[in-house]
Amino acid sequence: MTLNLIELANIPEIKEGDSVAEIIAESMISANLCLKDRDIICIASKIVSIAENSVVSLNTVTPSDLAKQLHKRIPRKDPRIIELILELTNRDLSLLDLRDNYIGCRLANGLKLTSGGIDKKSDDEVVMLPKDPDKSAKKVSEYLSLKFKKQVAVIISDSDGREDKRGANQVAIGVFGIEPLRKTKSIDITTGKSKIQEETLCDMLASSAGLLMGQRGTGIPAVIIRGLDYKWSEHTSIKEALNE
């Protein structure tokens, strides 16, 4: 099996109210690219959020006393962003992961992300995650599948860091058309019993797309992944890959 990664480098700056699906389609047509059955498109969450107006002006955020207290433990993090993280958790401190100069939180859909997935857009604005990444992925998939008459799966990805490693990696936060887990059945040669192994396929695909996407400012917010043999499904959710 050979996988091909195809970057969509001519996507313009996304604005509030834009249709990400239409812009991706126009980008492909202008680049003389055609979609094939079972192509997978990985899309950076940031452009989805901007199109869906999930952008917050920090000038409208007033840090609470709790946010100011936490800021003392995480001085590199703007207390206004800490306040937004607290709002994401409804101020349930059990959903926060606080360590030396690190803050992460578990979101309503079960995902745990550094800074709750909040990303800086400018000095005065931040981009929140899409409100329903699975729904966003479905919307793009349905548009592209109809336009190109092909079954196209979509993964919405976001960059996330780990406490034990430097740098960031791409992880999946929303899926449609492809099951987020790949399950492999094998036989234990010692016991003779069958066992099922699970791989977080959606994250592996997001990570591979990240090789071309890069981080901020690269101008490649969408990548086509071609050649993977997978089972098409319209009943998928990122929650299938999460621990309960």
Q: Of 98, 127, 156, which closes a domain? A: 127
Task: Give the C-alpha distances (Å, rounded to integers) separating 114 from 17, 77, 207.
Answer: 27, 12, 16
Q: Which domain holds residue 42?
A: 4-54+130-241
In angstroms, rounded to a whole number, what is the distance separating the alpha carbons of residues 188 and 86? 46
Q: Are residues 187 and 235 in the same domain?
A: yes
Last residue of a domain, one of 68, 100, 127: 127
- Answer yes or no: are the C-beta atoms of 205 and 5 closer than 8 Å: no
- The pLDDT tens digits for 128-157 are 999 999 999 999 999 999 999 999 999 999
Identify the pLDDT of residue 145. Answer: 97
Three-state secondary-structure class, residue 203: helix
Instruction: In whole angstroms, give the CA distance from residue 117 to residue 110.
Output: 13
pLDDT, residue 217, reads: 53
99: amino acid identity, one letter: R
Q: Which residues of the chain have pLDDT under 50?
A: none
Q: What is the pLDDT of residue 88?
A: 95
The pLDDT score that the predictor gives to residue 102 is 86
Q: Are residues 100 and 23 in the same domain?
A: no
Residues 71 and 189 in one domain: no
Residues 167 and 139 in one domain: yes
